[in-house]
A = this chain, B = another copy of it.
Amino acid sequence: MKYMVYLVSDSTGITAERLAQSLLTQFHDVSFDIRTLRYVDTVEKVTAACRQINESGQQAKNKPIVISTLVDGQLRAQMQQADAHILDVMGAFLTPLEEIIGQQATPSVGLTHGQGAQDTYKQRMDAVTYALLHDDGGVLSHYDRADIVLIGVSRSGKTPTSVYLAMQYGLYVANYPLVEDDLNSGELPAVLQPHHDKLFALTILPERLHNIREERRPGSTYASLAQCQHEVRQAEALFRRQRLQVCDVSRLSVEEIATRILQQLGFPSRALHP
């Protein structure tokens, strides 16, 4: 069974995309062809969107599904004219919220990702710059500024996790790769010792690490299963001795790794992104 799904937004479409993924992954045997229609913020653009949706519906067996995050009441009413199953997100939740708060919402498009919350936005962008500068053990002297320092063997997922935490939560995340010398010494590298309370360790199954490294340097000693087993064993022993918080990333996505770190380190879990 197959459905066309249109995500219609007057802004970036990011909220609609997230929500759609959460909802549609609950239906395993159905395939969805998802299209995002962004910046649909005028009567003319809604008309064009409806036309596109109707035309695709005529060619398909099933009526298309529309997940709309349109805010403006007039545009939402107009969207209802499309020959599709329409899930109106703002309609479903704004009205109850208005009743709870006892106040009318003041429609304003695109505030979610706009620079409205300037300080938060600036913090996120500064944090991304920081993550890139402090990737892979770079510019060691600035760990003072770090909120979190990720450590782990090469290719254990430190870089994407650092960037994700910076981008989404405005956290300053450095990362430090444990190399042969660090692992053989059995000690925490000297540069990390003053920052013990900021450390968070990533580990990974040797077999998974082997697969990841093979893609980068096929047939190398670096990628061999024996080397991966050796490094992971030494790294995990170090993490235990240092009593570090550890996350096994083998079966986790970057979003899951990032949010588990927030959880385990007890970050206030405040949604920082604007």
- 1/0 per residue, CB under 8 A from B, across A152-169: the answer is 000000011001100110
Tell me which residues across on chain B come within 8 A of A132, comparing CB atoms: 132, 135, 159, 163
Contacts A26-B106, A106-B26, A167-B160 given; does A12 touch B255 at CB 8 Å: yes
Binds B, one of A143-151, A226-234, A262-270: A262-270
**Judging by beta carbons under 8 Å apart, are B7 and A39 in contact?**
no
**Judging by beta carbons under 8 Å apart, are B108 and A25 in contact?**
yes
**Judging by beta carbons under 8 Å apart, are B106 and A27 in contact?**
yes
Q: Which residues of A in the span 248-274 have a Cβ within 8 Å of any Cβ on B?
A: 251-256, 258-260, 262-263, 268-271, 273-274
**What are 9 residue pairs bridging A and B, where the CB atoms are less than 8 Å apart in the complex?**
A11-B256, A12-B256, A15-B22, A20-B271, A21-B271, A27-B97, A37-B269, A115-B253, A164-B167
A→B interface (CB under 8 Å): 1, 3, 7, 11-15, 17-30, 34-39, 63, 65, 69, 71, 85, 87, 89-90, 92-94, 96-97, 100-101, 103, 105-108, 110-116, 121, 124-125, 128-129, 132, 135, 159-160, 163-164, 167-168, 251-256, 258-260, 262-263, 268-271, 273-274
